[in-house]
Amino acid sequence: MIKIAAFSDAHFPKLVGIKGLKVLRNSVNNIDPDYVVIAGDLTEGEKESFEIFLKEFEEIDCPKLICLGNHDLWVQSFEEATSLEKMEEFIEMGESFGYHMLDNKPFLEKDIGFAGTVGWYDYSFADPQFPIKDIENKILFYKGDTFAASWWNDRFYFRLKKRNPLMEMTFTEDDNFFVDSLKIPRSSREEDTYFTKLCYKHLNKSLNKIKDAKIKIAVIHHLPFKELLNIGREKTIESLFFNAYMGSKCFGELMIEKKVDICICGHTHLDVRRKIHGIEVYNVSEIKRG
């Protein structure tokens, strides 16, 4: 029997600190796995944190496979790089430490093949009760006991074009926190759709390369199936709004077409196992803070 140790969404060092990272490493080591799969959001996009993470798991003696997550691609306002450039940099770093980066190429060994991508969202999971303009803006204003707002942080930190948001913002004395947030240049629907297509193309190409494997495993950070939405948490106006950014149905449709056996995903910070269209799906993103 093949043993795979899989997890995602450590968000080092924000969610899991250095002590928690060592505990996680020891837990993986104790399994004595044949493969380690990390399905994204290792960090919050900082190069130094990514390097620390890689060093911590470097000595585990088996193939270690990574697909990146949306937070790994975040670019801070002071950085000149784009998210695609950040991806290329992290792929190069991972490979230099002996990891197999699935966002670059698939992994095939004997009868088992792994194909992966960060994945993304094209609003195909959007709840129809919300106007598409609000979905595109990635910010929700609503009235509860008090007026409030929620936003999807990719709007600030994911970008395919070079820009410096801090230099582009203008404020007046009448501005408040919510109004200010609207003035920060955001990633656009065109960028999201374009990047989703790039990830789809990569996954399709990777799955074709492992088509003869007896066991085909797809690794993706975002959700590939709508059936995985709203599992394990209360349905709130926020959670329904954020469904738009959980993934895309195109990835699940591709997995069905390519007869994938197992899918490993993350992103939602939940532990979920489901059989969907004959595919054993494992969401491995529930992880303890520490």
CA distances from residue 122 to 179, 200, 266 in whole angstroms, order as listed: 26, 11, 17
Average pLDDT along the chain:
90
Helices then strands, counting H and E runs in the chain, come out as: 10, 12
Indicate whether 98 belongs to any domain. Answer: yes
- What CA–CA distance (Å, rounded) separates 68 from 88? 11
Residue 141 lies in a domain: no
Say if residues 122 and 248 touch (Cβ distance below 8 Å).
yes
Residue 168 has pLDDT above 80, yes or no: no
Full domain range(s) for residue 267: 4-125+187-284
171 pLDDT more than 60 = no
Residue 243 in domain: yes
- 182 lies in some domain: no
Residue 140 included in any domain: no
- Domain-embedded: residue 153: no
Q: For 98-114, what is the mean pLDDT?
A: 98
Residue 57 lies inside a defined structural domain of this protein: yes
| Predicted TM-score of the model (pTM) | 0.92
Total domain count for the chain? Answer: 1
Q: What's 225's domain CATH number?
A: 3.60.21.10
Residue 56 scores a pLDDT above 70? yes
In this predicted structure, the answer to whether residue 242 has a pLDDT above a threshold of 90 is yes
Could you tell me if residue 149 is inside a domain? no
pLDDT number for residue 143? 67
Buried b (16+ CB within 10 A) or exposed e, 230-252: beeeeeebebbbbbbbbbbebbb
How much is the pLDDT for 186?
A: 62
